[in-house]
C-alpha cells in the first residue's frame, strides 16, 4: 500500500508544529521519521493514522485522501497499551473480526510468530516489558495492516531486548510486507531498520533531508556501512558520533 504526503502541516492554536512535509512510501517500504524532540514526528504520525484530520496539505493512502481512521492501518506505541483485565490471547483477539474460534486461532498464530506460544493465558502484569511489547507486535499484525505506524516502539526497552525486537519486527515484516512508518530518535535503529529516513528538524519541523539506506538486508550492526549511514544522519542534524 502506498502512502503520499504533500506539503503537510499542522498548527495548534495558530502555532505551526510541522510545516510543508512531503514524502512518499512505496508498498512494503520501511520509512523512518527521525528528528530531535518536538519537531512534530508524532503529530505527523497521528495525521497519517487518521486520528487527527485537522492537518493542512494532502495525505493519501493508495491515492485516497485520509480523512479518518483506516481499517487497514495498524499501530504500535512506545508502551504496549495492553488491556490489563484481558489475558495475552484476548488482548490480541480484541478488535479482530470473525467468530471466537477463528479469532483465537489467528491470535495464536501471531503469538507464536513473536515467540509467545504458551503465554496466552498470562495477564499483562505478569509480563516483562519485552514480552508485553511482543504482544503489542502480535496485536498490531493480527489485524493484517497494510500500513503499520510505529511511534518509538522500542524506546522503553533495554538495549538487548530492543535489538531482539527490531530483528523480530524485520522477520514478521518479511512475511507480511506491510508498509511501515517508524518514528524514532534512535539513529542506530533508523539505519538498521529503514529503507529511507526522513530527517525532520526545527520548530516547526520541516524535512531537512531524505536519506536512502541502500544496504541490503540482513544488515550487520556495527558494520562500516551502518557507521557511515549513522554519520550521515547525524551530520544532517549538525551532530557527530561524539555528540550523539
Ligand atoms: N495536541 C496538541 N496541542 C498543542 N500542541 C501540541 C499538541 N500536540 C503536539 N503539540 C506541539 O507540537 C510540537 C510537536 O510535537 P510532537 O509530539 O509531534 O513532537 P515529536 O517530534 O514527536 O516529539 P518527541 O520526540 O519529544 O516525542 C510540540 O511543540 C508540541 O508541544
Residue whose grid cell is 481512521:
69
Residue 75 is assigned to a structural domain of this protein: yes
User: What is the CA(18)–ligand 1 centre distance, in A?
Assistant: 9
Residue-wise DSSP of 23-47: EEE-TT-EEEEEESTTSSHHHHHHH
pLDDT of the residue at 113: 85
> Is pLDDT above 70 for 55?
yes
153: which residues sit within 8 A by CB, 6+ positions away?
76, 77, 78, 133, 136, 137, 165, 169, 182
Is 128 contained in some domain? no
Cβ of 40 closer than 6 Å to ligand 1, yes or no, is yes
Q: Supply the DSSP symbol for 209.
A: E
Tell whether 63 is covered by a domain: yes
Q: Average of pLDDT values for 101-107?
A: 94
**What local confidence, expressed as pLDDT, does residue 242 receive?**
61
Query: Do 55 and 10 form a contact (C-beta atoms < 8 A)?
Result: yes
Q: Kindly state whether residue 120 falls inside one of the protein's structural domains.
A: no
| Ligand 1 atom at shortest distance from the alpha carbon of 203 | 29
Domain count, the chain: 1
CATH of the domain at 192: 3.40.50.300
Ligand 1 contacts CB of residue 204 (under 6 A): no
Report whether residue 39 contacts ligand 1, using a CB cutoff of 6 Å.
Answer: yes
Q: Please tell me the predicted confidence (pLDDT) of residue 156.
A: 87
**Residue 38 CA to ligand 1 centre (angstroms):** 5
Q: Is residue 130 part of a domain?
A: no
Whether 137 maps to a domain, the answer reads no
78 lies in some domain: yes
Residue range 156-184: average pLDDT? 90
pTM: 0.93
Mutating to test ligand 1, I would choose from 41, 46, 78 the residue with most ligand atoms within 8 A of its C-beta, which is: 41
Task: Examine residue 124 and state whether it is found in any structural domain, yes or no.
Answer: no
Q: Give the helix/strand (H/E) hosting 140.
A: helix 129-142
Residue 243 is predicted with a pLDDT of 57
Residue 176 has a pLDDT of 79
Amino acid at each position: 500500500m502506498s502512502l503520499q504526503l504533500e506539503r503537510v502541516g499542522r498548527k495548534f492554536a495558530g502555532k505551526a508544529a510541522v510545516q510543508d512535509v512531503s514524502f512518499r512510501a512505496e508498498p512494503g517500504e520501511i520509512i523512518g521519521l527521525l528528528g530531535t524532540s518536538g519537531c512534530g514526528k508524532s503529530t505527523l504520525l497521528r495525521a497519517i493514522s487518521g486520528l487527527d484530520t485537522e492537518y493542512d496539505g494532502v495525505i493519501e493512502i493508495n491515492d485516497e485522501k485520509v480523512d479518518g481512521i483506516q481499517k487497514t492501518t495498524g499501530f504500535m506505541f512506545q508502551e504496549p497499551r495492553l488491556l490489563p483485565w484481558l489475558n495475552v490471547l484476548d488482548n490480541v483477539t480484541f478488535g479482530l473480526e470473525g467468530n471466537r474460534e477463528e479469532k483465537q486461532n489467528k491470535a495464536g498464530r501471531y503469538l507464536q510468530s513473536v515467540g509467545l506460544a504458551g503465554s496466552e493465558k498470562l495477564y499483562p502484569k505478569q509480563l516483562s516489558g519485552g514480552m508485553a511489547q511482543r504482544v503489542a507486535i502480535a496485536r498490531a499484525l493480527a489485524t493484517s495492516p497494510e500500513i503499520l505506524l510505529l511511534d518509538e516502539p522500542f524506546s522503553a526497552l533495554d538495549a538487548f531486548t530492543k535489538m531482539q525486537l527490531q530483528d523480530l519486527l524485520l522477520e514478521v515484516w518479511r512475511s507480511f510486507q506491510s508498509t511501515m512508518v517508524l518514528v524514532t530518535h534512535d539513529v542506530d535503529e533508523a539505519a538498521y531498520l529503514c529503507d529511507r529516513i526522513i530527517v525532520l528538524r526545527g520548530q516547526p519541523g520541516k524535512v531537512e533531508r531524505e536519506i536512502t539506506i541502500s544496504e541490503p538486508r540482513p544488515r550487520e550492526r556495527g558494520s562500516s556501512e551502518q557507521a557511515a549511514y549513522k554519520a550521515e544522519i547525524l551530520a544532517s542534524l549538525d551532530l557527530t558520533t561524539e555528540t550523539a
